[in-house]
Amino acid sequence: MPAAIVVEGLERAFDEVLAVRGVDLEVDEGEIYGFLGPNGAGKTTTVRMLTTLLLPTGGRATVAGHDIASEARAVRASIGVALQEAALDPLMTGRELIRLQATLQGIPGAEGRRRADSLLERVDLVAAADRRVGTYSGGMKRRLDLAAALVHEPSVLFLDEPTTGLDPVSRKTIWDEVRTLNQAGTTVFLTTQYLEEADQLADNVGIIDSGTIVAEGTPEELKAEIGNPHIQLQLAEGSIALAEEVCTAIGKLLPPKDGRTVLVEVENGAADIPRVVRALDEAGIEVESLELVRPTLDDVFVAKTGYHLEEDEKEPAGEEPVEA
Amino acid sequence: MSSFATNAHIVRALGMRSIRQTFRRPQLIAPIIIFPTLLLAIQTGGAGGAVNLPGFPPVQSFLQFMLAGAMMQSMMLAGNSGGIALAVDIEMGFTDRLFSAPIPRFAIVLGRLAGTAALGLFGAIWFFAIGLIFGAEIEGGVPGALLATALVNASALAVGAIGAAIALRTGSASVVQGLFPLVLVVLFLSSAFFPQELMIEPAKTIAAYNPLSFIAEGVREPMISGIDATHTLEAVAAILAIVLLGLTMSARALRHRLRVG
């Protein structure tokens, strides 16, 4: 499958500091690529370069087959962009904004009006179409931003943290729309700091930290790199030492969370559960609960960066970039 | 549609947005209409006797003389408001939406300037209406009124280009807004509100070289005595100089903004 986005050694320096340090990635046509990282990791800077809003200081990239530096206008004609801050004029109405976007994309008046009406209906904003954007909720603004990005039916769509700050219902609405677009063939480059979002939507995930890609692959591949799933046992009564001895014969024991829990890594996932249950039963150990825990993208993130993404305890790299 | 027609359509759409934005944001329209109207009322009401000073040009009324000053003030503040609005667009990220569209990026600046010029036109019509309502005569008749309106219109674009350049360079609405007093100082150091011959030094010399004086005289002459080629050409030359300066500054500031993001 041809690549919609090819990035080779992309760099961006701000004075003496490098915010993006030699990023390489490839996104196939029709793929949803999740670009995952904490605040300041270099996600937005990368997206700004790929959308021709910022010139790279090193490396190269093509989007929809066009070089971002030498064919910027062709890139801009091929992409839709919904930026992090939902760059909307609060004094415009939703309808005015989409019509303006259609004009900017060179769509003639009557066709622009038709597409605006159709998109407003698609994102469920018909009732609010003639209200000023300043009166919209966060979810409505995101939906409008998405609709504006789609007015020229782009082949590649960049969504920069499209659900940040949204409630779960609004988030799900955006996710559904992204899936629908993707099913229609649109390539989606999605930056996010939500692990669940990347897990739910992305075909491939790139994890960026301090301006560098530290891991890349499908969510399943990345999780598989971390290790096997484990069974978490909560004991009702009986000796924990005995339970650990029983489980050692089945899999590898992991450090316990507390005095009543046993964690055992198993090779075959759910298929190993009956063996564990039988062995504990034969040993007379009563179990209060048993759960199969699979590795998450958070585990992947911790393994690759040393900290949890959603706690976001690390100093943002974009605000204090590493020295060149 | 040809490339020129498409770009003209884009500039028009951005200009219309700029006008709507101004009328929907009271802090942008107030300096263009309300402040100059109040100043005109105060000056004509309180200093009307100035027309009797020796050396004051022959005029039908002080209001007739002051209309050009009010239009100049409105035009200057329209340019400043246009700069503020562009800086607000940069601050809230709206310019990123425009920059990510497949259009010539200078069309974004031209769209803003088209809106500013239209607001200058609106200001000129507003003050002509006030003048006519309160008895001011336009000696140059309809052609004189049209000439003065065209000069105000073009001046607004010229001053707006400088406002746009500062907005693009700084990206800060506060900085552009901070130029408001400076705009008034530069205007008061011209012959917009008072005849140059009656000024004292050093204001008199500054006014003699201030391009705004040439524009003010070019706008005023059709009102107080009729169309005059010398004043008109001097005004056009001053406007062209400011346009050239403003567009050059805007183009450089735009390049800088796109380079640094």
| pLDDT, tens only, B179-213 | 888 888 999 999 988 888 888 889 889 999 999 99
Instruction: Read off φ and ψ for residue B174, nearest 5 degrees.
Output: -65, -40
Q: Are residues A179 and A247 in the same domain?
A: no
Tokens read off for B247: 């567009």
Quote the CA–CA distance of A58 and A22 in Å, as a whole number: 8
Domain contains A309: no
Q: Are residues A265 and A209 in the same domain?
A: no
Under an 8 A CB cutoff, do A87 and B13 touch? Answer: no
Q: pLDDT: is B237 or B201 the higher one? A: B237
Which of A76, A89, A108 is opposite residue B94, by nearest beta carbon? A89
Quote the CA–CA distance of A290 and B35 in Å, as a whole number: 75
Give chain A's domain count: 2
Domain range for residue A270? 228-294
Under an 8 A CB cutoff, do A89 and B92 touch? Answer: yes
pLDDT digits (tens, 9 = 90+) for B22-32: 888 887 788 88
Domain contains A61: yes
Cβ neighbours for A158, distance < 8 A, ≥ 6 positions apart: A47, A50, A51, A79, A80, A81, A82, A149, A189
Q: Are residues A178 and A269 in the same domain?
A: no
Domain contains A76: yes
Quote the CA–CA distance of A34 and B94 in Å, as a whole number: 25
pLDDT digits (tens, 9 = 90+) for B110-166: 999 998 998 889 999 999 999 999 888 888 899 999 999 999 999 999 999 999 999
Under an 8 A CB cutoff, do B101 and A53 touch? Answer: no
Quote the CA–CA distance of A55 and A186 in Å, as a whole number: 25
The pLDDT value given to residue A266: 85
Q: Are residues A235 and A217 in the same domain?
A: no
Positive or negative, the Cα torsion across B202, B208, B209, B211? positive
Q: Could you tell me the CATH number of the domain that includes residue A200?
A: 3.40.50.300
Neighbours of A45 (CB within 10 A): 27
Under an 8 A CB cutoff, do B93 and A85 touch? Answer: yes
Is residue A199 helix, strand or coil?
helix
Cβ-based contacts of B93 with chain A (< 8 Å): 83, 85, 87
Q: Are residues A150 and A31 in the same domain?
A: yes
Under an 8 A CB cutoff, do A87 and B101 touch? Answer: no
Work out the angle at residue A29's Cα, subtended by the Cα atoms of residues A202 and A144, and round it to the nearest 5 degrees: 65
The pLDDT value given to residue B253: 92
The pLDDT value given to residue B234: 94
Among A192, A224, A256, where does a domain finish? A224
Cβ-based contacts of B1 with chain A (< 8 Å): 106, 108
Give chain B's domain count: 1
Cβ-based contacts of A77 with chain B (< 8 Å): 102
Under an 8 A CB cutoff, do B100 and A105 touch? Answer: no
Among residues A15, A18, A13, the alpha carbon closest in space to that of A210 is found at A18
Alpha helices in B58-103 (DSSP H): 62-92, 94-99
Q: Are residues A14 and A132 in the same domain?
A: yes
Which of B13, B96, B102 is opposite residue A53, by nearest beta carbon? B96
Domain contains A84: yes
Positive or negative, the Cα torsion across B121, B212, B192, B167? positive
- Round the CA-based radius of gyration of chain A to a whole number and report it: 24
Under an 8 A CB cutoff, do A106 and B13 touch? Answer: no
Tokens read off for B17: 């947005």
Cβ-based contacts of B171 with chain A (< 8 Å): none
Domain range for residue B163? 3-260
Q: Which amino acid, residue A208?
A: I
The pLDDT value given to residue A284: 85
| Mutation target among A11, A63, A68, A103 for the B interface, most CBs of B within 10 A | A103
The pLDDT value given to residue B139: 87
Cβ-based contacts of B103 with chain A (< 8 Å): 104, 106
**What's the whole-number mean pLDDT along residues B227-248?**
94
Q: Could you tell me the CATH number of the domain that includes residue A250?
A: 3.30.70.980
Q: How far is B96 from chain A (nearest CA, A)?
A: 7
Under an 8 A CB cutoff, do B98 and A108 touch? Answer: no
Quote the CA–CA distance of B81 and B109 in Å, as a whole number: 14
Quote the CA–CA distance of A316 and A322 in Å, as a whole number: 10
Q: Which amino acid, residue A179?
A: R
Q: Are residues A196 and A271 in the same domain?
A: no
| Mutation target among B97, B98, B254 for the A interface, most CBs of A within 10 A | B97
Domain contains A299: no
Q: Are A142 and A170 in contact (CB under 8 A)?
A: yes
* Spans in chain A with pLDDT lower than 70: 1, 84-86, 237-238, 257, 307-324
* β-pair partners for A235: A287
Among A206, A224, A242, where does a domain finish? A224
Tokens read off for B123: 């200001």
Domain contains A317: no
Under an 8 A CB cutoff, do A77 and B21 touch? Answer: no
The pLDDT value given to residue A219: 87
First to last CA, chain A: 36
Among residues B175, B161, B177, B179, the alpha carbon closest in space to that of B250 is found at B161
Among residues A241, A245, A276, the alpha carbon closest in space to that of A260 is found at A241
Among residues A166, A164, A77, A82, the alpha carbon closest in space to that of A119 is found at A82
Q: How far is A158 from chain B (nearest CA, A)?
A: 11
Domain contains A321: no
- Residue with the two structure tokens 């919904």: A82
Cβ-based contacts of B89 with chain A (< 8 Å): 89
The pLDDT value given to residue A128: 93
Among residues B191, B176, B30, B14, the alpha carbon closest in space to that of B98 is found at B14
Under an 8 A CB cutoff, do B99 and A53 touch? Answer: yes
The pLDDT value given to residue A310: 61
Q: Are residues A218 and A245 in the same domain?
A: no
Among A171, A192, A224, where does a domain finish? A224
* Nearest C-alpha in A relative to B94: A87
Domain contains A267: yes
Q: Are residues A18 and A156 in the same domain?
A: yes
| pLDDT bracket for residue B246 (50, 70, 90) | very high
Cβ-based contacts of B102 with chain A (< 8 Å): 73-74, 76-77, 104-106
